[in-house]
Amino acid sequence: MSTTHHQPQGDVLPTEDHPVCTDLKPTNTTTPAHPEQAPAEPPTPSNTATARVTKTVLRTIAGHTLPGLRHTWAALHHWTTLAYMSDEEIRRRLVKRHLDTYVEQRDDITRQIEQTSKKTRKLARDAVDFGLTREDAKRLKDLGAELQLRRTAGTALTQIKFDVAGAQPSTAQVRRFRTLRALGRFAGVLVPATATTLGVILAAPVAGLVAVPVFAGAAWWLGRHPLTLTTRPLPADLTGPRELEPPKTPAAAESAASSGAAKEVPEEVIRLDAALTAAGLLAKGRGLDIIEAPDFSIGNGYTLVADLPKGGGKLVRDVLNKLDVIAGELGRPPMQLVIREVPGSEGGHGRRMRLWEAETDPYLAVGHATSPLTDAETWDFWSGTPLGQTVQAERRTLPTEFGGGFTSHFFSGIMRFGKTAAMRLDVAAGLLDPGVRLYLANGKAGVDWRAAAEVAHRFTEGTDDAGLAAFEALLDELVDDMNTRYRDLGDLAHLVPDGRLTPDLARNHHLPVLLAAIDELQLYLLALPPKRRDRALEKLKNLLRAGPAAGVFLVVGTQRPDGEEVPTGFRDLFGVRVSVRCLDSRSSRMSLGDLASDAGADASVLTEDHIGVVVAATGHRWEILSADFLRLSDFAAICHRARRLREQAGTLTGDAAGQPRISEPREVRAVRACLTALDDLDTDRARLETLADAIGDDTEFEDIDKTQLGTLLRKAGCGPAVSIGAVDGLKNARGYKRTALEDALDSAT
């Protein structure tokens, strides 16, 4: 029996990837082995075509999406394991953590110092204006102690430099950083994202039908446009700070030394040279000649001593004139750049300067010391006035005499910055010397000077009519006392070889120093009529010119001293000028004078934080000082102590001793002036208009009108104007007769 192979039916051909196998069956088999099962039907041509197309599509999709999926997995692995970060970047990031902590601690202590300092300044400002209660005084003391502790901590932290070598991480720390960051990204990003996607697909099949083609399309696109998986360059924030640079190895340092490398120029000098060059003070390619290298031992920035190069024609005064430009180039406020010419006594010359670039404002950091006058029983006014301290806590005293006599003090600047408080130091020093007689006039009636009334020889305040009259009377008395003093010195010619008052003469011959303190002078000058103001200024100038040798000493305070309110010719007569903050350089020049301003003095660099910080100038020499602190309560105690000293020494005089200057009221002086006018007119009667015109010519009654004069005459007891007959072409004129004026004068005197 023969058998034949049954040929496969259909046109599905075997392929290399998908072989098709057929069963061998005998040709004579007519019944199935199992009659209960029906034979399978052969596939139809349409089914085989659909299967072939489906397989082809799936094969095509897989061929395009699998590379994209593999690249997606590689990109996720690259991101998760931080493969894009080099070990050097991770090292710098770990070092930056330590650096940020260091900077944060330093900034935090600086912020605390600033906050405490603002509280202290506010309380000090209130003390200047209103005085302090016992609780406020305790709080101010506690704040001062707290501020000192914080400044000490800040100084200590500033002196501790960032330890670059100690902050360097080990290889194991770098590896641990990478591992922990990878675990965090896997657990915090990939797992939640995958779970969320699967949950959405299972919960919403429609979303799955949409998501599959979207993911397939994205995978296909990534397969055609693969991402570049490389190590990125260092980010900009990790290449700036020099502390993040890798430390030099000993081998590299030894190699640089053996190669004869030049000595490295300090970075501070390089920055300073660049700033001076930008300001036009150094030629390009030229630098400062360093005399003393940068010294950081002061704890607040650094100091150095340097010479400007020869041949450039520049002096230290040129540097001072461009202080604001240099400070701006260095990235510092002008108050944090202190430049002084080294004096000849210390080996200096016009090109040699001492510079201090401070990290914090040194004038705020030094604070305000309590005035030594607070607890002093007595004080020698001839030795000067203790004013304050420099940024290096060096004491400074305002001179009260040099060049053969006293030199008066001029205080100015805008209000509420401690001008009057600085003046009080001058007056307090004079009060504690029983050989000083005080004449005090305060144009602004207030509490600033009221405590001095119990010890002042003359005391007046306010600019009403009575206040102006008292001010002019005070000047008249001063001039009279000065003239009397010169007559007294003439009688003692054998004891006055230099023609001036000396300390021995003052103490042994009862010739007190005549201290005249005038605060808010501009208020008096603005309130006085023009001719009276001119006379007052002429008296003040006379006291400044002729007074020093006779022991007359003026302490004058005013706000912005422009040419109209306080003339330049008057200001230039003062030997010492002190200014608090000014709003601009022009005002500062008016306050401090041309000599000091040309030498670099500028009170406009003081900011709103510099309350009680002053610029003191004597000629061309000047210095910025933190003025001593003298509370109103302390000043009142000094006044009380000064009165006791004068009572013991027998030098309490004038208003304080119940000996007021006898001066006629203004209405009585008006009657006298009218009588003088009648004499000049050679008549015994005159109209009110005629009298007003006559007495208004070059007298204190300048520009008085008939209404004002009538008021004064009625107040003096002259009664109202009456009929005086035919006068000035009028048949029945009204005015005053001589007899009415004389009767009123007799009654008043």
Q: Which of 537, 535, 597 is nearest to 567 (CA)?
A: 537
- Region for 449 from its dihedrals, namely left if φ exceeds 0, alpha if ψ lies in -120 to 50, beta otherwise: alpha
Main-chain phi, psi angles of 393, to 5 degrees: 60, 30
- Which pLDDT band holds residue 62 (cuts at 50, 70, 90)? low
Task: Report pLDDT digits (tens) over 115-147.
Answer: 887 887 777 777 666 666 777 777 777 777 787
Alpha-carbon distance of 124 to 142, in angstroms, equals 13
Alpha-carbon distance of 554 to 548, in angstroms, equals 9
The predicted model gives 188-204 an average pLDDT of 74
**Residue-level pLDDT at 7:** 42
Per-residue pLDDT at 203 exceeds 50: yes
Helix (H, G, I), strand (E, B) or coil at 306: strand
Q: What is the mean pLDDT of the chain?
A: 81
Main-chain phi, psi angles of 391, to 5 degrees: -65, -20
Cα Dmax for the chain: 184
Task: Report pLDDT digits (tens) over 223-257.
Answer: 666 666 677 777 777 776 666 777 655 554 454 44
- Which pLDDT band holds residue 344 (cuts at 50, 70, 90)? confident
**Residue-level pLDDT at 224:** 63
Task: Fill in the DSSP letter of residue 659.
Answer: -
**Residue-level pLDDT at 261:** 43
**Residue-level pLDDT at 410:** 94
Per-residue pLDDT at 679 exceeds 70: yes
Report pTM: 0.60
**Residue-level pLDDT at 404:** 58
**Residue-level pLDDT at 256:** 41
Task: Fill in the DSSP letter of residue 335.
Answer: G
Integer-rounded Cα Rg, in Å, for the chain is 47
Helix (H, G, I), strand (E, B) or coil at 399: coil
Looking up tokens 């301003």 gives: 597
Per-residue pLDDT at 28 exceeds 50: no
Per-residue pLDDT at 607 exceeds 90: no
